[in-house]
Amino acid sequence: MNPRRFARRRESGVLVVASGLVAAWPRFAEACAVCFGGGDSNWTAGFFAGTVLMLLLPPALVVTAGIVIYRATKRQEARRAAQGAASRPTQPTVSSPSRAASPLHLVR
């Protein structure tokens, strides 16, 4: 086995074990990078609210963009349908027979 490779593995193992010991040590485990004063501090609630906001913002943006695109598509479809109906020649509608609509009325 290559001595350098063995030394790297040993250094990696020592680093993993040291990290595990530091994380398991109670004094270090209590230390939180964002607590700044314990559980009764306003900082904890502020960081929690900020975390929730950052977690909810991306899905809210994606859903909002989806709704906007969907509504714009439906509006465009309605506009095209209205333009298509306006460009078609209109057919006279046949209503119930009456004296005014009768061709015989024009002959008399």
For 53-63, write each residue's pLDDT tens digit.
999 999 999 99
- CA-closest candidate to residue 51, choices 24, 32, 27: 32
**Max Cα–Cα distance, the chain, nearest Å:** 119
C-alpha dihedral (45, 47, 48, 52), degrees to nearest 10: 140
Tokens of residue 44, six digits: 């904890």
pTM listed for this prediction? 0.44
For 7-59, write each residue's pLDDT tens digit.
667 777 888 888 877 777 666 656 565 556 565 677 777 888 999 999 999 99
Tokens of residue 26, six digits: 């109670």
Distance linking the first and last C-alpha atoms of the chain: 118
- Domain spans in the chain, listed from the N-terminal domain onward: 41-85
